[in-house]
Structure 1
Amino acid sequence: MFTDVRLGTENKLLVFFSGGGVSIDEYTAARPASLYMRDKTDMFYTTRLDLFADFVTRAGVLDDHPDNPFRDWTKVVLTYGTGDFHVGTKDFPYTALDGSARVLRHHGYTNYRAVLEAVTRWVPEPDDLLVAGCSAGAWGAALLADDVIGLFPECSRITCCVDSGLGVKADWGRIAEDVWGAPEEIRARLRGSDMVSDSLAALHRDHGDRVEILYASSTRDAELSRMQGYLDGDGFEHTRRAGERFEGDLRRVSAELVERIPRIGLYFFDTPDRAHKRLGLTKHCMIADAGFHRTSSDGIAPREWLKRTVFGRDPQRVGLDLLATSSA
Structure 2
Amino acid sequence: MITRISALLAAPAFLALVSGCQASPPVSPEAAAPVSVAIVPEAEPWATIEPGGDTLCATGTPFRFHVRSGDPERVMVFLNGGGACWSGDLCDLQTAPTPYTPFAEMDSNNPELLEGVFDEANPANPIAGWTQVFVPYCTGDSHLGGGDVTYTTSAGQEVTVHHRGKANVQAALDWVYANRADARRIFVTGGSAGAIASPYYAGLVADHYPQADVVHLADGAGGYRSPAIAGVLAAWGAFKGVPDWPEFAAIDQATASTEDFFRVTAARHPEMQMARFDNVDDAVQQDFLTLLGTGEPVRGLLAANNADLAGDIPTIRAFEAPGNAHTSLRFSRFYTEEAGGVTLVDWVRGLANGEAVASVSCQSDQSCD
Residue aligning to 2:88: 26
Identity %: 22
Residue aligning to 2:116: 60
Residue aligning to 1:266: 318
Change (3 A) 1:309 1:181: closer
Give 1:164's match in structure 2, choosing from 220, 235, 246. Answer: 220
Native 8 Å contact 2:362 2:368 kept in 1: no
Native 8 Å contact 2:68 2:131 kept in 1: yes
C-alpha separation in 2, matches of 1:284 and 1:189: 32
Task: Return the letter of the residue paired with 1:296.
Answer: E
3-state SS, counterpart of residue 275 of structure 2? strand
Q: TM-score, normalised by structure 1?
A: 0.82
C-alpha separation in 1, matches of 2:173 and 2:298: 34
C-alpha separation in 2, matches of 1:181 and 1:263: 26
* Larger relative helix fraction: 1
Query: Unaligned 5+ residue runs, structure 1?
Result: 34-38, 234-241, 272-281
Q: Give yes or no for the alignment of 1:48 onto 2:106.
A: no
Residue aligning to 1:276: none
C-alpha separation in 1, matches of 2:99 and 2:297: 20
Native 8 Å contact 1:57 1:77 kept in 2: no
Native 8 Å contact 1:82 1:107 kept in 2: yes
Task: Return the letter of the residue paired with 2:100.
Answer: Y
Q: TM-score, normalised by structure 2?
A: 0.74
Q: Give yes or no for the alignment of 1:310 onto 2:352.
A: yes
C-alpha separation in 2, matches of 1:44 and 1:284: 15
Q: Give yes or no for the alignment of 1:111 onto 2:168.
A: yes
C-alpha separation in 2, matches of 1:251 and 1:228: 15
Larger radius of gyration between Structure 1 and Structure 2: 2
Q: Give yes or no for the alignment of 1:297 onto 2:339.
A: yes
Query: Unaligned 5+ residue runs, structure 2?
Result: 1-62
C-alpha separation in 1, matches of 2:334 and 2:147: 34
Change (3 A) 1:44 1:134: same
How far apart are residue 56 of structure 1 and its match? Answer: 7.3
Change (3 A) 1:194 1:66: farther
Residue aligning to 1:177: 234
Range moving further from structure 2, 190-199 or 224-233: 190-199
Native 8 Å contact 1:87 1:109 kept in 2: yes
The root-mean-square deviation of aligned C-alpha atoms, in Å, is: 2.6
How far apart are residue 300 of structure 1 and its match? Answer: 2.1
3-state SS, counterpart of residue 110 of structure 1? helix
- Return structure 1 stretches of 4+ with deviation > 6 angstroms: none
Native 8 Å contact 1:85 1:140 kept in 2: yes
Residue aligning to 1:223: 284
Give 2:140's match in structure 1, choosing from 62, 83, 88. Answer: 83
Change (3 A) 1:324 1:26: farther
C-alpha separation in 2, matches of 1:56 and 1:97: 38
Change (3 A) 1:326 1:9: closer
C-alpha separation in 1, matches of 2:171 and 2:190: 18
Change (3 A) 1:181 1:97: same
What is the total number of aligned residue pairs between the two structures? 299
Cα deviation 1:258-306 (Å, max 9, x = unaligned): 11111211111113xxxxxxxxxx1111122112112122232211111
